[in-house]
Structure 1
């Protein structure tokens, strides 16, 4: 499958946007590895985003002592 340069730029822009939003969310909610989550979202969003949000949801639901 061949991609045109315009399609490639659109794909990179979407990946960058997802990455920035993931980083911002992780940073805002106190993740010590916000940069790693952002980079991971850029490289493999289909795997990293479900893992990140599952970890976030489980941590949020954990009762605090």
Structure 2
């Protein structure tokens, strides 16, 4: 389905879902001390299918890494 074929309610639902994913990613990044929480949130809004998995894989890898001294 292309953007031109979407009705107004479908478009608003899609924007709402994208905004919720974006806010969730931003909140998680901010809560866990990411220096670029805003960038992760914006990226999640624009390309959630790519940015969200990359963010959480990076988070998981960094969480598993032993702390450096």
| TM-score where L is the length of structure 2 | 0.92
In the alignment, the residues of structure 1 paired with residue 17 and residue 49 of structure 2 have an alpha-carbon distance, to the nearest angstrom, of: 13
Structure 2 partner of 1:7: 10
The 5-angstrom pairing of residues 33-52 of structure 1 reads 33-52=36-55
Q: Which runs of 5+ in 2 are unaligned?
A: none
Alpha-carbon distance in 1 for matches of 2:67, 2:34: 17
2:20 to 10, 17, 25: 17
Q: Which runs of 5+ in 1 are unaligned?
A: none
Write the distance in 1 (CA, Å) between the matches of 2:38 and 2:51.
Answer: 13
| Paired positions, count | 65
Q: TM-score by structure 1 length?
A: 0.97
Q: Which runs of 4+ in 1 moved over 4 A?
A: none
**Which SS does the other structure have where 2:47 is aligned?**
helix
Shift of 1:64: 1.2
